[in-house]
Chains A and B, each alone.
Chain A
Amino acid sequence: MDGRRLKFVLIGLGLAATMAFLFVVGTQQSDGGFAYYVTVDEFLVKGAPAGHFRVNGKVRPGSIERLDAGRRVVFTVADPKTAAALPVDFTGIIPDTFVDDADVVVEGKRRPDGVFEATTLLAKCPSKYEAAK
């Protein structure tokens, strides 16, 4: 390999390396968008207490408590398969599809008092409605 060719290969490698570097830095930033995706059960049993998580579960019926004129909500998200339940505190935009028993994904981290402080709340809505019943 001659010198000139080597130069181009090095530039290419440098490019790949900076992209990898940016990726690593990005995964370590708290709001970097990188999060572990777990169910409520996995979060409580296996999940590390620190770090950024996306927790999937169902809203326990009757647990929704809307505060601050509808801008904050406190509720319990439960694992549909086991009895595991996690209290959640969310401030922000509450989607229309957020109702009892809705399938939700909350993103954020656990506070020292055990409550999950969510920065994002996604409520899955069926992409189309099927027949009644």
Chain B
Amino acid sequence: MIATVGHFALFLALVAAAWAAVSSWLSTVASGRGLARSGERGIYAALAGIVIAVSALEIALVTDDFRLDAVYHYSSAAQALPYKIGALWGSQAGSLLLWSFLLAGMAAITVATNRTKNRALMPWVVTVLGLVMTFFLILVNFVASPFASGPMRPDGVGLNPQLKNYWMMIHPPTLYLGYVGFTVPFAFAIASLAARRTGDIWFRTTRRWTIFAWFFLGTGILMGSYWAYIELGWGGYWAWDPVENASLMPWLTGTAFLHSVMIQEKKRMMKVWNVTLILLTFCLSIFGTFLTRSGIISSVHSFATSDIGPAFAWFLAIVFVGSLTLLILRLPDLPAEARLESVLSREASFLFNNMVLVGIAATVLFLTTFPLISEAATGRKVTMGPPIFNIVNVPWALVLLFLIGVGPLIAWRKATAENLRRNFLVPGLAGLWVFLLFVVLEGRSAAKDLAAMGRSALSFDAATFLDHLKAFYPPICFGLAAFVLTTVAVEFARGVGVRRRQHGEGVLLALARLVERNRRRWGGYVVHVGVVIVFVGIAASSAYRKETVQLVDPGGTLQIDGYAMTYDGFRLEAVDDHVGAITELSVWQDGRFAGRLEASQRWHPNMLYPELRTAFHDAVAAKGGDPAAYRARIQGIFALIARLERTAGREVKTPSTEVAIHKSFSPAAPQRFGEDFYVTPLGVDPISGRANFRVFVNPMVNFLWLGGLVFVLGASICILPDSRERRRLEASMALEDRAAA
């Protein structure tokens, strides 16, 4: 029943989306007002169909309808309600449905908010949106249907335990909002080319859409790293995994786009470049979805392997070639109305930031897909690990950090010596001072690295040179961070000072008014501060992290980098869908008691084995009774799993680890501010309790998440409606209407 409703609703949505695309396109040729309206209604109808399908799938998940494959494989009767709901995007078909749903929602909002505006562009916008929707709806109708079903099954397999995490529940929808959101500015860009309205209306109309998509993509990436950090137990947050790279690339090109449109606004140049950037960003978003969902490049956490690959490859090729052809045909409509005058100018610094951002995105793309390229070209498979990504990208990330400081302050057209001195002397000195301070703190090892760099430079040994240069990356990063932060501080101080003098306002009021008067500019500064804090967190936590692996018996102690951890004892539990050994730990930081922690190693038994299922339920039932009996039953499950694995010759459990983290924010230990003491139990013997602990000390890692919060704050300021922006857009529209008439 549910499946029938779902199939039917999705099919209607497909017809509606296809109609939206066709009738909107016809209206541009036949200039039928009615056709255009009908196309817009098609978008609404498609949204209605998808909403019904999403609801149907959610009902099936919540009511445990195990006839549906998407329910059977990703949910189970015992699964907690939030995870039943979230299992929608656990399955591949379900996540494609989510994509379609978000896209249809955004398309509907676009149509609704442009009812009376942009009449020349809208038919083309609806055509593009309709086509993209049609593609995703073809996938969920014919290639990977979320409503594929079989016979009723007594219980489901359940979601992968590692995905049962709060962050993992909100991370995919957040990321998808970002991926999907870029469709709207892309559609407007294509529309402006197709309709030969190549002014600034397309990007002014979609400015907030772009920030919205970029914001959600950025937040989604950070959430994903946070999930990896607290859930995967390897002490890190970024592994240059294909799926991670997939989300980073469109974010980088999107960031470049956000900056370079400002040049087009001010100077009416870089028009072709901007269209190219949004085209690249959209293609990379589709490519990202494709990488995540197709498993084409093996990935540590690609949870999917499937047959949607060819469909995506074709779609991507059509979009890319089609839009590029259109762009080339319209090149005469996109003349630059100004040109770069000096390397020392804001235009040039934005251009350089674009080059670096796109350069990094291109290298990441190249390195991510290199295994495929190499296999196709030479027949040899190769793999690319994280070090090579760091070797290539870290120096350029540092250049980017420098440009973050330069871009907003350097003069337009051509910077004078006076402009440079006024804006950069103090920040430059501050940066240099911090850099030297950290080099001096490194002391002898810095001197050794410097000497080795000198020797290798003389013998043209680039590899050794780079190896030793690496030691200076953290001080360079901290120095540049100080430089950028000082530029921003000076800007805020100047702005507030001017308002105080002119309007006699207090500091806080002046600050609030200042930001409110030009949200984009000051919100942008806040975003920059967030990014700088993230950079500092990455540099410190990757350069100065400490790690140890030790076997400890209950009662024993482990020491690392000024910390002592005693293993007080352990207890066993059988809850939800797993048995676990919880280790109880006490942590001392530099001789002071820091707190108690609990880290656990869990085994999720495969409930499809009846004997395991029975033993597990017996153990859960024994909870609250005699503690010794409860413990014995759980130990019995561990033994049973080991026995079953020997006879079955395969895994009958999924292990997962719950890490324990002690965060330091205490003013008593300022040198440890933002540091994490991070414990992963790699294995716990259920009888003796002997545990193999992997322990990390990650200095300043929390700066990453704090910087993320600052980023969210800044982006929120940028995305609020801005009356200045609205007036500019209206002025452009009036101008264009006059020109057309």
Contacts and interface: CB of A to CB of B under 8 A. Distances in A.
A23 B382 contact: no
Contact of B157 (A16, A70, A128): A128
B463 A36 contact: no
A23 B651 contact: no
Contact of B380 (A29, A36, A128): A36
A93 B463 contact: no
Given A93-B549, A93-B694, A23 B392 contact: yes
A99 B73 contact: no
Contacts of A22: 391-392, 395, 466
A128 B608 contact: no
A28 B348 CA distance: 34
Nearest to A61: B649
A26 B470 CA distance: 13
A21 B462 contact: yes
Interface in A77-126: 93-94, 96-97, 99-101, 125-126
B568 interface: no
Contact of B649 (A21, A100, A130): A100
A45 interface: no
A125 to B, nearest CB: 7
Nearest to B605: A129
A70 B388 contact: no
Given A8-B340, A33-B385, A37-B381, A70 B683 contact: yes
B655 A4 contact: no
B476 to A, nearest CB: 16
Range for the number of chain B residues in contact with chain A: 35 or more
A101 B650 CA distance: 8
Main secondary structure, interface of A, reads: mixed
A80 to B, nearest CB: 13
B473 interface: no
Main secondary structure, interface of B, reads: mixed
B392 A101 contact: no
A130 to B, nearest CB: 8
A28 B654 CA distance: 38
A19 B363 contact: yes
Interface string B659-689: 0000000000000000000000011000000
Given A4-B340, A128-B160, A132-B609, A27 B388 contact: yes
Contact of B384 (A29, A33, A100): A33
A23 to B, nearest CB: 5
B373 to A, nearest CB: 13
Interface string B457-474: 000001100110000000
A41 to B, nearest CB: 13
Interface string A4-18: 110110011001101
Contacts of A11: 343, 352, 355
B636 interface: no
B551 interface: yes
A7 B343 contact: yes
B643 to A, nearest CB: 13
A35 B388 CA distance: 11
Interface in B507-538: none
Contact of B371 (A16, A37, A94, A99): A37
A19 to B, nearest CB: 5
B383 A35 contact: yes
B542 interface: no
A36 B363 contact: no
A4 B339 contact: yes
B387 A129 contact: no
B359 A32 contact: no
B381 to A, nearest CB: 4
A60 interface: no
B356 interface: yes
Given A25-B391, A32-B391, A132-B609, A19 B359 contact: yes
B276 interface: no
Given A5-B339, A25-B463, A125-B654, 18 more contacts: A8-B340, A11-B352, A21-B462, A22-B466, A23-B363, A23-B367, A28-B463, A29-B387, A32-B391, A33-B387, A34-B382, A37-B383, A93-B694, A97-B651, A128-B157, A128-B160, A131-B608, A132-B652
Interface of A: 4-5, 7-8, 11-12, 15-16, 18-19, 21-23, 25-29, 31-38, 54, 61, 69-71, 93-94, 96-97, 99-101, 125-132
13 contacts: A19-B359, A23-B363, A23-B366, A33-B387, A33-B389, A36-B381, A37-B383, A61-B649, A70-B692, A71-B551, A93-B549, A101-B650, A129-B654
Q: In the A-B complex, list the 3 residue pairs whose CB atoms are closest, starting with the nearest.
A: A33-B385, A33-B387, A37-B381
